[in-house]
Amino acid sequence: MVVKNPNPDLSHSDPLVWLVTGYRAGERAQIMALADALGWPYEVKDLVHRRYAFRTNLLRGRDLRGIDRRKSSPLAPPWPDLIISAGMRNEPVCRWIRDQANGSVRIVHIGRPWARPDNFDLVVSTPQYRLPEHPVVLQNTTTLHRVTASHLEKAARTWAPRLADLPEPRTAVILGGNSGPYTFGSRAAARLAQEASRMANRSGGSLLVTTSARTPLSSWKAFKESLDAPAHCYDWAPDPDTNPYYGYLALAESIIVTCDSISMLSEACATRKPVYMFDLLAPRGTTSDLARESAGPEEDFRLGAWLYRLMMRYGPRRLSRDVSLVHERLISSGHAVWLGETFPDAGPPALSDVDHAVQRVHALFPGRE
């Protein structure tokens, strides 16, 4: 798929960009966000990966053995000037493309790379991956996103009439799911519904609630059963025409997000509205940090989350990520607080992470900004 930028002032010298898309939705969204922000025409390369391709991935290969070429987008000249990609399984493909172009292709990797940073021209990362300092590594606070003022204005026009009956102020509640050390079980869901309801009822307002692709059905049921405030609820589906997510972000005066999802926290903070993080480990202010890390019996237990916390503490850092580092950065920068705490009167500052990434990519092509 080729996407032509509508800007009529584009120069013929704009770099040719390939998006070697991520095989996870969050990675794909970040790739598209950076491509849109750059403003250069791009071509999307969808890859179908073979289920068993450990050799070429783990050994940092530079070939196409990991993909099914018959089912994937064609990879043929003219070769691009720039590749934007993410995910370990895409790395060998990107290196193979650069080899075919005699090393002239710039590679921008989003997230955590498996190979050493020297293999890339730019790595756009966030604190949870704990990457070492390196000249090609850009350490942003949040993930890349597509939340812009124009996008929110458009969503507000679409959804304002549909939500007009809900009392203001409105609070968006964005539900994540099980991820790494975090478990979004029935107990946590009920606790969140109760806290969000109290917040809405104190102000005389309402809630705009959406699940995500990772939200367990049992947790969603427990949330709705404990909800005690006027609310508009949406059960997540991939259809963008019926999904009110951006409408919620646009029309809410404040936003509650479960702490497991860095991408949803990033998008919420990009609105420059007060963002409240919901701690999935245990109620804030009632237990010690150690008790929260241990996920006491009053909380939802998941073996995978318990094992992940052990791996974070004792295993190689490459095999885990520490999302709490992002939480700390968001709090220290004034972009978010924990649910139950008071948001600073000054309000959240602007986020510039997408701009930083664009500037670093432009620097790879002097004179072609």
- The string of pLDDT tens digits covering residues 149-188 is 999 999 999 999 999 999 999 999 999 999 999 999 999 9
Q: Identify whether 130 is part of a domain.
A: yes
For the chain, what is the domain count? 2
What pLDDT digit, counting tens, does each position of 67-89 carry?
A: 999 999 999 999 999 999 999 99
Q: Taking 90 as the threshold, does the pLDDT of residue 367 lie above it?
A: no
Q: Taking 50 as the threshold, does the pLDDT of residue 122 lie above it?
A: yes
Q: Taking 50 as the threshold, does the pLDDT of residue 24 lie above it?
A: yes
Query: How far is residue 11's CA from residue 8's CA, in Å, rounded to a whole number?
Result: 9
pLDDT at 259: 97
Q: Dihedrals φ, ψ of 37, to 5°?
A: -70, -30
- 102 and 189, same domain (yes or no): no
- 293 and 194, same domain (yes or no): yes
Q: What's the CATH number where 27 sits?
A: 3.40.50
Burial of 292 (0-12, 13-18, 19+ CB in 10 A): middle
Q: Taking 70 as the threshold, does the pLDDT of residue 109 lie above it?
A: yes
- 73 and 162, same domain (yes or no): no
DSSP assignment letter at 339: B
In angstroms, how far apart are the furthest CA atoms of the chain?
A: 64
Closest CA to 261 of 142, 146, 361: 142
User: Please, which pLDDT band fits residue 287 given cuts at 50, 70 and 90?
Assistant: very low
The residue type found at 357 is A
pTM of the model: 0.88
- 98 and 182, same domain (yes or no): no
CB contact burial 97-112 (16+ within 10 A = b; e otherwise): bbeeeeeebbbbbbbb
pLDDT at 54: 56
User: Please, which pLDDT band fits residue 286 given cuts at 50, 70 and 90?
Assistant: very low
Residue bearing the bigger pLDDT, 126 or 60: 126
Q: Identify whether 203 is part of a domain.
A: yes
- 75 and 162, same domain (yes or no): no
The residue assigned the tokens 């995978």 is 304
Q: Taking 70 as the threshold, does the pLDDT of residue 7 lie above it?
A: no
In terms of residue numbers, what domain contains 76?
A: 2-141+355-362
- 172 and 133, same domain (yes or no): no
What pLDDT digit, counting tens, does each position of 181-215 carry?
A: 999 999 999 999 999 999 999 999 999 999 999 99
Q: Identify whether 268 is part of a domain.
A: yes
DSSP assignment letter at 66: T
- 200 and 344, same domain (yes or no): yes
Q: Identify whether 191 is part of a domain.
A: yes
Q: Dihedrals φ, ψ of 267, to 5°?
A: -65, -40
Q: Identify whether 282 is part of a domain.
A: yes
Q: Identify whether 368 is part of a domain.
A: no
The residue type found at 7 is N
Q: Identify whether 367 is part of a domain.
A: no
- 127 and 163, same domain (yes or no): no
The lowest-confidence range among 48-57, 135-144, 170-179, 271-280 is 48-57
Q: Taking 80 as the threshold, does the pLDDT of residue 369 lie above it?
A: no
The residue assigned the tokens 């009392």 is 167
User: Please, which pLDDT band fits residue 295 given cuts at 50, 70 and 90?
Assistant: very low
- Structure token pair of residue 324: 């709490």
User: Please, which pLDDT band fits residue 10 given cuts at 50, 70 and 90?
Assistant: very low
The lowest-confidence range among 54-58, 276-280, 331-335, 344-348 is 54-58
- 71 and 124, same domain (yes or no): yes
- 98 and 162, same domain (yes or no): no
- 185 and 307, same domain (yes or no): yes
CA 313 to chain CA centroid, nearest Å: 24
- 260 and 124, same domain (yes or no): no
Query: How far is residue 52's CA from residue 29's CA, in Å, rounded to a whole number?
Result: 25
